[in-house]
Structure 1
Amino acid sequence: MTADTSSIVLLVLLSSLPALIIGGAMYLLTQKYLERDYRKRVLEIRLKNSETILPIRLQAYERIILFLERVTPSNLLIRVSPSGLTASDFQAQLLQEIRAEYTHNLSQQLYMSEAAWQQVKKAKEDVVSMINQNYQNLQDKSRGTELAKKVLENILHNEVDPTAQAIQFLKRELHEIF
């Protein structure tokens, strides 16, 4: 290369340098603006979703607490009458009632934390287990009223309500949301 050619190349590079710097700065500013705009839109979408989801979540917690109250043994025994039933028939009816309530509220787990749903499942299983254990301690051909009496005695003697812990957990979780 000759001296003229190299000075022309140098001159072109030096004159292009401000344009490259301005172009790079514009690119960075545009990227930052687009990124900020994107974050703003995501925040707006989340806010709008929370306005929609929050009432649904609250309703889910209400329904699950109602479910737990309905399957609490003392409430369940009042609602499902043992009169005229054998202990075996009464046990089957109680378990069917629990399954029906649980199945009816199964979709509520979508709006709850995993820990909360595990508490609900455990409470349901504890109630079923309590009914089954008390049934197994009865003699054959016992009446449904005897099973109801055994379950209530078990609750009073052990001072354990199998759903109380889950209800308290759900209430604490709700207080964290609000």
Structure 2
Amino acid sequence: MEEQIIQLLFYCIPAIVTGGVAYYFFSLHTKNEEGRRRYLLHKESQKDALPVRLQAYERMTLFLERIAPASLTINLTPVTDGKDDYENRLIQQIETEFNHNLAQQIYLTEDCWGIIRAAKNTTIQMIRKIAMSEKIDSASKLREAILTEFMDKQAPSATALSFIKKEVSEIIG
């Protein structure tokens, strides 16, 4: 009887080893196939999402170009002679443009969106700071002072625009 058990073990051990090896290779193959499918789905979704992301970067580029102090003051002429009215009009235009593009943040990186928001807020702060000057008493002088201030300095929107260009070049490759 003992001999029969040993013979049975000699027959079963190779079958168990073969079954274990087959199971290992089958599970490895299944994992590889699942990974390949995920990769193909991700690649396909990236292909579909890329144009939308690039469009978001384009829209934010337009936003930054529109809020650049030179563009802003050229496109928005003073309606009255009051500097406060002109200051409020400039700031309202920046806020309106920004609010119009709020949804684009879902397609941008956190860093990029943060830099764009910082550019917007810094531009508004600089306009307010220039408008506080005692020397400026009319809308035309405020406009002139804003243009003069940003001739010597790089506008915050230009810095954000450089960041966008860098990110887009990394996306495109």
TM-score normalised by the chain length of structure 2: 0.92
Root mean square deviation, CA, Å: 1.5
Identity %: 30
1:148 alignment counterpart: 143
| Matching residue within 152, 155, 163 for 1:161 | 155
Is the contact made by 1:83 and 1:145 (CA closer than 8 Å) also made in structure 2?
A: no
Q: CA deviation at 1:85?
A: 4.2
Query: What displacement does 1:167 show?
Result: 0.7
Matched, 1:109 2:105: yes
Checking the alignment, whether the CA contact within 8 Å between 1:123 and 1:163 is kept in structure 2 is yes
Which has the greater radius of gyration? 1
Task: Give how far 1:148 is off.
Answer: 0.9
Q: CA deviation at 1:72?
A: 0.4
C-alpha displacement of 1:55: 0.4
Counterpart CA distance in 1 for 2:91 and 2:150 is: 17
Is 1:172 the counterpart of 2:156? The answer is no
TM-score by length of 1: 0.90
Structure 1 unaligned residues grouped into runs of 5+: none
CA–CA separation in structure 1 for the residues paired with 2:128 and 2:20: 74
Q: Distance in 1 between matches of 2:85 and 2:8?
A: 97
Q: Count how many residue pairs are aligned between Structure 1 and Structure 2.
A: 172
